[in-house]
Chain A
Amino acid sequence: MKLLRIENTPHIRDVLTTQRIMLLVIASLMPAAVSSVVHFGWRAALLIGFCMVFSTACEGLCRILMKREQTIRDGSAALTGLLLALNLPVTLPLWEAGVGCFIAIVAVKQLFGGLGQNFANPAITARIMLMLSVTEDMTHWIRPGESYDAISSATPLSGGEASLADLFWGTNIGGCLGETSAAMLLLGAVFLLALGIISPAAPFSYIGTMALCTLISVLANGGDMIEIPYQLLSGGLLLGAFFMATDYVTTPITTTGRIVFGIGCGVLTFLIRTFGSYPEGVSFAILLMNILTPYIDRFTVSHPFGVKPQKGGAAK
């Protein structure tokens, strides 16, 4: 007689898997990726494709060298490559993008143990490393339609002129591939929120805090209210809030923790944009909050049902 299988409970599972989550996030970034190709031309597609393939290759090689089981099929490396590409200017030399992929996958992710173990967001850390090391190439912004060797133009945050409609549709402004079209990013964000892949806690508290800080600043210094949507739509805020501040691995695990994380990101971004020497603060803000995540987690432990809160924390 055929032997029956003995397994632990439960005997059924939900359809969502790690791989499906990664693929859904990649899919949600496709509108932004396509829009960057429309705005900046074929080289945007090349850069995105290169980063996705090279990141996956880095991950695969790393797993082979470290003699660990192969993980490229989970899609997380491809997603990191895509996110990094969306944080790069279209004119960046491919070898520099490759260095970025290497930093993201090897230094930030695999050396710490691979998926789920990295303390900082790989794409953001790689972007910051590139910003600090090849600053000139990383800030060579061209406007849509300009030739790739055109003289760098200013981004809206660094003093360039742009209308709100330009910011929203990504027309006529310079910036990273994924930063320029708010509409396409929002489309992807709505998709992820609707499917429950990302929780609204961090992005909403992030954007809300940003809006509030700008409002206070406008009221205190006397300015135009248009500054608020301007701040929210420009730079990498939407990309950061919906696609980086929602990264499962490097942000707090509870809803309360995620709200704290978002507020922290908002305050830091505002401070850097207003008082810092860099025009854009999203990457630094998220990286700093990534580092604080274990501490936030520690202070936002969920409270079991029916247990009375105990002072001093330690239960018997």
Chain B
Amino acid sequence: MRRLHGVHLPHAKSTAAEPFQPLPVPEKVLIPMQMHIGTPASPIVKLRQSVTVGECIGTAEAQFSADIHASVSGTVTAITEYRPVKGEPCKAVEITTDGEQTPCPAITVPHYSSRAEFLTAVRHSGAVGMGGAGLPAHIKLNPKQKIEHLLVNAAECEPYITADDRIMQEKFALIIAGICRILEVLEIPSCIIGVEENKPEAIRTLRKAIGTRSQITVRTLPSVYPQGAEKVLIYHLTGRIVAPGQLPADAGVLVMNVTSVCFLEEYFTTGMPLVSRGITVDGSCIQEPCSLTVPIGTPIRNVLDFAGCDMERMARLISGGPMMGVCLPSAEYPVTKTTNAILALPEPESRPTTACIRCGRCIRTCPLRLMPTELEKAYQRRDAARLRRLRVDLCMLCGCCSYVCPANRPLAESNGLAKAFLRKEATR
């Protein structure tokens, strides 16, 4: 099997040996009603209502949605309009904390005796894909197709981020128990955990925790970005190809992020829904790069203050990794269910943009074998037919092409625009 292409990035994983430490509970949290793909939840709390940790504060009638829970105990002080960096505006609940972190008295360990009950329990946990995608877990765990492999995505191929790595080093037992639970309930015969080779400690710990369970294997992946992209991961772990327009389940696999698996197991042992998560705080403007456990909704400013951030030098605040993360316009945005890292970076080095010199690096790096430079030219001409023929719709915006381009052309950005252009053309 020929591996798909990609790029060797500087790892910069300086927090791989930094254990998670809890962030002090912030004074206020702002919890958006949409931290997942699908319909936003509707707030079910009133102004000045007091809430406890784990209490449901947002729920949706729609199946394709996820419940939202209070991450702190305190009082609801505002229900506001929230405008996320990406996506549609939604409501958000602001809670002023009382510092007690009283757990919700209604929380009980969930019990289930059937697959349907299991999925209902998952639905009430507020679980979503925590690697960044944010697909509600009860949707993902309910495939119609027969699944042969559960693939646990622990590639964590972006530089800096070590949130998954830390989870694997600290909560290996929960991860393995969670995998066993999912395999049993969904009747999946085997599980492969894919980890990039730059996490030897995590690989060792997981292998030890697996012991003699033959249905679970840990597979080492090369440290080539983007190993964690779903199609790439599936192909490298199983050799299966997810055709355009198909879901991983169509290829008989189910892919879950390792942190999501760990959270589900925690939920099934304690009953506490998704109210906090581990994040990496790094970047050259951060004085003390660290791994933190943060209540969902914590303003990023609190995280930066805790880790020590050179606000004068910081020019870019990124939620996620340096390849696919989004730039935040201010530090007032909250940590959400899908935030795996906060990076504070200085101004980028200035690089001249030149004409395309046709070096072909973008073509040779594209994991999906697209032709970014040709796509850029086609988009500049607004040539919808050629964009379709060259399959710009498959682009997953991993950014490899822009990264390697010596002419500094914004190829991935152009692909994003071209995809939007084609969608607009299709509806016209």
Answer yes or no: are A and B bound together in one complex: yes
Q: Interface of A with B (CB < 8 Å)? A: 1-14, 16-21, 71, 73-74, 76, 113-117, 199, 248-249, 253-255, 301-308, 313-316
Q: What chain A residues lie within 8 Å of B243 (beta carbons)?
A: 306-308
Is the pair B159, A12 in contact by a Cβ cutoff of 8 Å? yes
Is the pair A5, B354 in contact by a Cβ cutoff of 8 Å? no
Is the pair A116, B355 in contact by a Cβ cutoff of 8 Å? yes
Q: Contacts A9-B397, A10-B324 given: A301-B390 contact, CB under 8 Å?
A: yes
Is the pair B323, A12 in contact by a Cβ cutoff of 8 Å? yes
Q: How far is the CA of A21 from the CA of B404 in the complex (A)?
A: 12
Query: Which of A3, A6, A9, A199 makes the CB contact (< 8 A) with B402?
Result: A9
Q: What chain A residues lie within 8 Å of B363 (beta carbons)?
A: 253-254, 302
Query: Which of A5, A13, A17, A117 makes the CB contact (< 8 A) with B327?
Result: A5
Q: What chain B residues lie within 8 Å of A255 (beta carbons)?
A: 360, 364
Contact mask for chain B residues 351-390; partner A; CB cutoff 8 A; 1 contact, 0 none: 1101111111001100111110110000000000100111
Is the pair A19, B403 in contact by a Cβ cutoff of 8 Å? no
Q: Does B406 contact A (CB under 8 A)?
A: yes
Query: Which of A13, A113, A248 makes the CB contact (< 8 A) with B357?
Result: A248
Is the pair A10, B316 in contact by a Cβ cutoff of 8 Å? no
Is the pair A7, B327 in contact by a Cβ cutoff of 8 Å? yes
Q: How far is the CA of A112 from the CA of B20 in the complex (A)?
A: 58
Q: What chain A residues lie within 8 Å of B244 (beta carbons)?
A: 304, 306-307
A202 to chain B, nearest CB (A): 11
Q: Contacts A7-B348, A18-B354, A303-B369 given: A313-B403 contact, CB under 8 Å?
A: no
The interface-forming segment of B131-139, B258-266, B409-417 is B409-417
Query: Which of A11, A17, A114, A302 makes the CB contact (< 8 A) with B370?
Result: A302
Q: Does B311 contact A (CB under 8 A)?
A: yes
Q: Contacts A14-B7, A116-B357, A117-B355 given: A306-B315 contact, CB under 8 Å?
A: no
Q: What chain B residues lie within 8 Å of A199 (beta carbons)?
A: 360
Query: Which of B312, B326, B328, B388 makes the CB contact (< 8 A) with A316?
Result: B388
Is the pair A306, B241 in contact by a Cβ cutoff of 8 Å? yes
Q: What chain A residues lie within 8 Å of B351 (beta carbons)?
A: 13, 17
Is the pair B327, A305 in contact by a Cβ cutoff of 8 Å? no
Q: How far is the CA of A254 from the CA of B244 in the complex (A)?
A: 23
Is the pair A10, B371 in contact by a Cβ cutoff of 8 Å? no
Q: What chain B residues lie within 8 Å of A7 (beta carbons)?
A: 316, 327, 348
Q: How far is the CA of A14 from the CA of B7 in the complex (A)?
A: 10
Is the pair B315, A5 in contact by a Cβ cutoff of 8 Å? yes
Q: List 22 A-B contacts (CB under 8 A).
A: A1-B330, A4-B317, A5-B347, A7-B316, A8-B416, A9-B412, A10-B322, A10-B412, A12-B323, A13-B405, A14-B7, A20-B406, A21-B357, A74-B354, A116-B358, A116-B407, A248-B360, A253-B371, A254-B363, A304-B390, A306-B231, A308-B243
Contact mask for chain B residues 90-107; partner A; CB cutoff 8 A; 1 contact, 0 none: 000000000000000000
Q: Does B26 contact A (CB under 8 A)?
A: no
Is the pair A315, B358 in contact by a Cβ cutoff of 8 Å? no
Contact mask for chain B residues 307-345; partner A; CB cutoff 8 A; 1 contact, 0 none: 000011011111000111111111000000000000101
Q: How far is the CA of A7 from the CA of B356 in the complex (A)?
A: 21
Query: Which of B348, B364, B373, B389 makes the CB contact (< 8 A) with A11?
Result: B348
Q: Does B177 contact A (CB under 8 A)?
A: no
A61 to chain B, nearest CB (A): 19
Q: Does B399 contact A (CB under 8 A)?
A: yes
Chain A's closest residue to B4 (CB) is: A305
Q: How far is the CA of A248 from the CA of B354 in the complex (A)?
A: 14
Q: What chain A residues lie within 8 Å of B326 (beta carbons)?
A: 9
Chain A's closest residue to B324 (CB) is: A9
Query: Which of B329, B343, B399 makes the CB contact (< 8 A) with A10?
Result: B399
Q: What chain A residues lie within 8 Å of B373 (beta carbons)?
A: 253
Q: Contacts A2-B311, A305-B241, A315-B391 given: A18-B406 contact, CB under 8 Å?
A: yes
Other contacts beyond A5-B327, A304-B390: 18, CB < 8 A = A4-B315, A4-B330, A8-B416, A9-B326, A11-B343, A13-B403, A17-B351, A18-B406, A71-B354, A115-B354, A115-B357, A116-B354, A116-B356, A249-B358, A253-B373, A305-B369, A307-B243, A313-B389
Q: How far is the CA of A93 from the CA of B373 in the complex (A)?
A: 41
Q: Does B180 contact A (CB under 8 A)?
A: no
A289 to chain B, nearest CB (A): 15
Q: Does B293 contact A (CB under 8 A)?
A: no
Q: How far is the CA of A10 from the CA of B348 in the complex (A)?
A: 11
Q: Does B182 contact A (CB under 8 A)?
A: no
Q: Does B394 contact A (CB under 8 A)?
A: yes
Is the pair B7, A304 in contact by a Cβ cutoff of 8 Å? no
Is the pair A302, B369 in contact by a Cβ cutoff of 8 Å? yes
Q: Does B9 contact A (CB under 8 A)?
A: yes
Q: What chain B residues lie within 8 Å of A316 (beta carbons)?
A: 388
Q: Does B39 contact A (CB under 8 A)?
A: no
Is the pair B9, A12 in contact by a Cβ cutoff of 8 Å? yes
Q: What chain B residues lie within 8 Å of A14 (beta carbons)?
A: 7, 403-406
Q: What chain B residues lie within 8 Å of A19 (beta carbons)?
A: 352, 354
Q: What chain A residues lie within 8 Å of B318 (beta carbons)?
A: 11
Is the pair B394, A10 in contact by a Cβ cutoff of 8 Å? no
Chain A's closest residue to B313 (CB) is: A2
